[in-house]
A and B are shown apart, each in its own frame.
Chain A
Amino acid sequence: MSATETTIAPTGTWTLDPVHSIVGFEVDYMVGTFKGGFQDVSASLSAAEDGRVTLEGTARVASVDVKDENLNAHLQSPDFFDAERFPELRFEAVDISLDGDEVTAEGEITIKGVTKPVTVTGTLSPVIADPWGNQRFGIELRAIVDRTDFGLNWNNPLPSGDLALANEVTIVAQLQFVQTGS
């Protein structure tokens, strides 16, 4: 991996502020973009002395939220994420690089038990001192995956013969990380 241009965050381990973070997905459905998210996410980010930044995160499939309990249930079923067998989504990036405020990372994402390499891009906010004496910064990451690569093959033909749901899905993680002040 290329050396980082700038340090993403001061060294050490950063913990997620889960309440002010969200992991969601966006996928074209019929005539618009359908968005959903996972309520229960966890992540941690480590910045080493040499500037290497690693990020790992998980989302609990059972916490999927698309504003309709029946659709939540369908998404958790074997037709989609199969929460019973594969309760977690997982993401790992071992070297996140920064150019200006543009973030790039090569990582691995695991959905429904299938792990695939994925390129993640995003933006970074500056580190600030929050009102509780912690250091805090935000990072927004996006990755595009083909859901059928992970066995999420559900679809429904429209009367025209076109399919209702696109295969390409954008995963969006808006994460706030905190480091306790010393």
Chain B
Amino acid sequence: MKILGLSGSLRRDSYNTGLLRAVRELLPADVELEIWDGLKAVPPYDQDDDGAEAPAAVAELRSAVAGADAVLIATPEYNASIPGHLKNALDWVSRPVATNPLRNKPAAVVGASTGAFGAVWAQAELRKVLATIGARVQQTEVACRRADTCFEDGRLSDEGVRAQLAETVAELVDTARAREHGRGAAASFAA
């Protein structure tokens, strides 16, 4: 089983990317987390460019989402909301709405910020956006507050946040497994 991880923060030492790396240590042996780092290459959405051949970075992202059993997004908060490039990338993935690869895809959101709230507004807005796109959005939140104190040498050191991450990811894996099982059952029924 594969989870696609997207970090809404592009910088090299991002705390949000750090959360995703921490998730890797919490996964069962048969689950892998692929951290997709191509967000910076996704151009601004333009319907004129959204034809038969999408821009390369968009095609890659759509394919990565389609190939994953679940999606986990770690987001910072910019001006009380989702970073523009992350929202933009999801807008690309959402087209066309009726057949986009996020439809019914189990999805969870976590967040880190150096402030006192841990990107909770960005997480709430991101859950809303994902639900509108059609994802099966988990109603959980992991708020890594004062993120500069939660990491040591780039590694998550806050045990409370780690426990929350573990709980969130376990639920996401359960949802993805249930979906896989449901599809398997439907396939065998059809056969």
List A residues at the B interface (Cβ < 8 Å): 69-70, 72-74, 76-79, 82, 84-85, 154
B132 close to A73 (CB less than 8 A): no
On chain A, the residues within 8 Å of B98 by CB distance are 69-70, 72-73
Q: Are B134 and A74 in contact (CB under 8 A)?
A: yes
Chain B residue at minimal CB-CB distance from A84: B104
Tally of contact residues, B, Cβ under 8 A: 14
Q: What residues of B have a CB within 8 angstroms of the CB of A78 in the complex? A: 104, 131, 134-137
Bound CA–CA A67/B98 (angstroms): 13
| Contact indicator B132/A79 (Cβ below 8 Å) | yes
Bitwise, B118-146 to A at CB < 8 A (1) or not (0) is: 00000000000001101111000000000
**What residues on A are CB-neighbors of B103 within 8 Å?**
73, 77
Q: How far is the CA of A84 from the CA of B102 in the complex (A)?
A: 13
Q: For residue A79, which residue of chain B has the nearest CB?
A: B131
Show 22 A/B contacts (Cβ-Cβ < 8 Å), sorted by A.
Answer: A69-B97, A69-B98, A70-B96, A70-B98, A72-B98, A73-B98, A73-B99, A73-B103, A73-B134, A74-B132, A74-B134, A77-B103, A77-B104, A77-B134, A78-B131, A78-B134, A78-B136, A78-B137, A79-B131, A79-B132, A84-B104, A84-B136
B182 at the binding interface (Cβ < 8 Å): yes
Closest-by-CB residue of A relative to B178 is A85
Distance of A73 Cα from B101 Cα, bound (Å)? 12
- Per the bound structure, the CA–CA distance linking A82 and B137 in Å amounts to 12
Interchain CA distance A94-B131 in the complex, whole Å? 37
Q: Once the chains are docked, how many angstroms separate the CA of A79 from the CA of B135?
A: 8
Closest to A83 in B: B104
- B61 to A: closest C-beta gap in Å: 20
Quick one: which of B87-104 are within 8 Å of A by CB? 96-99, 103-104
- In angstroms, how far is the closest chain B Cβ from the Cβ of A82? 8
Residues of B within 8 A of A70 (CB): 96-98
